[in-house]
Amino acid sequence: MRYRYRNKDAPSIRCIAACSKSALNLIVTAMICTPRCRQPFARAASRSPSGRALFLFRNQVDTHATDPMFRARIEPVRLLAVLMLVTYHVVGDTAESGLQIADTHPLRLVMSLLADLRMPLFACISGFLYALKPVSPAAYPTFIRGKFRRLAVPATICIAGFLGASQVMGTKFMPQGPIWHAFVFPYAHFWFLQAIFLIFVFYCGFDILTRGRLLLVSLTVACAVYLLRLGFPSNVMSVNHALYLLPYFLTGIVMARHEERAARWRPLVILLSAAILALGVGWVLRDPGQNTAMLASRHDLQSLMVGMSGAVLLLGIAPRVTWLNGFGSLAFTIYLYHIFGTSLARRALDAAGIDDLTVHICAGLICGLALPAALYLLAAQHNLLNFGLHGRLPTRPVRHKIST
């Protein structure tokens, strides 16, 4: 079904406006219920002599990076990354999926350009946040167990639900091989969770052992592997996707550990990032008609330029929005479950006979944000749901002694 733009569908627009207000209230409520970001490990460790002995990166993480106000600059960029991802799945990755927009449509060109920034931005944010909370060698096993619980448990449950919905709806997301392949090989948008977990396991362990001294060398090697398109024969646990994300993850670490130095040259950093981004975008646009080819090839110099410079530029010019603190937990729920909302909105509008492109995009965005926010609020009320959806361990009630 092809969707077209119309200005005369006033009842639909009024309905979308009313739903937008309700969805906004739901999302704000979910953000209010989100626990505030804790102080970085660096501040806690620096208060005691024993903590200083365990703090390996005290000379490499700048003081600005441990300021909670700096942490607030991450959340607007993360919100932008979430909106780009939800919009991408509303529109669809090809002319045969989503809203079935032709490859020559301007919106398809925009989605193709943003492909070099969406997932790299998530990886850059992950690396940045990792650098704010360095891990001691003794705490590494606990760190990995926590990452496994927070990533694997929610992903497993969401993949199982996604497989069930795909089977019922008869979508293209049914795996070609055995069902268990969806849990150990790249599947839909869940590949990012597998890839980022591998980065946490292997690179973060290497970073801890070397005390961060080989960060720039690692970034150079990661970029070379990226451009040479080196990889493994089997993409188990999205290992080749991990190699794709690694340069952007390391870029986030560099930004966090050298933030004070970059802050002294902030205008130059912003100007240089903007120039590299413009050069990369211009390089990509030299043949704008091949949008499908743009999406198929990500391991090239222009994609690396757009992804790295775009992430640096956005994190450099992002405003400090303190009321977005704690958006990270909600963003993870949106990442997992937004596609259920976008698909529901599209199918409901198709059943109602509404084919207005603007209405479809707005409704898809609203449902893609509101449904995960509702799940987040529901899970916050039940320990078992909270563990299944977010990987959080059940909280024990505080027992007060009654004095006699």
In 10 A of CB 365, how many CB atoms?
Answer: 21
pLDDT cut 90: percent of the chain above it: 49
Reported as a single tens digit per residue, the pLDDT across 160-183 is: 999 998 888 877 777 777 889 999
CA–CA separation, 273 and 251 (whole Å) = 13
- Return the closest-CA partner of residue 42 out of 74, 18, 64: 64
CA–CA separation, 22 and 280 (whole Å) = 39
What is the value of pTM for the model shown? Answer: 0.83
Reported as a pLDDT band with limits 50, 70 and 90, residue 299 is confident
Reported as a single tens digit per residue, the pLDDT across 94-111 is: 777 788 888 888 888 888
CA–CA separation, 370 and 364 (whole Å) = 10
Q: What is the pLDDT of residue 263?
A: 81
Q: Hey, CA dihedral for 321, 326, 331, 334, is it positive or negative?
A: negative
Q: What is the pLDDT of residue 37?
A: 42
Q: What is the pLDDT of residue 374?
A: 94
Reported as a single tens digit per residue, the pLDDT across 26-73 is: 555 665 555 544 433 334 334 433 343 333 443 345 444 444 335 567
Which DSSP helix (H) or strand (E) runs through 202?
A: helix 191-209
Q: What is the pLDDT of residue 70?
A: 52
Which one has a higher pLDDT value, 93 or 51?
Answer: 93
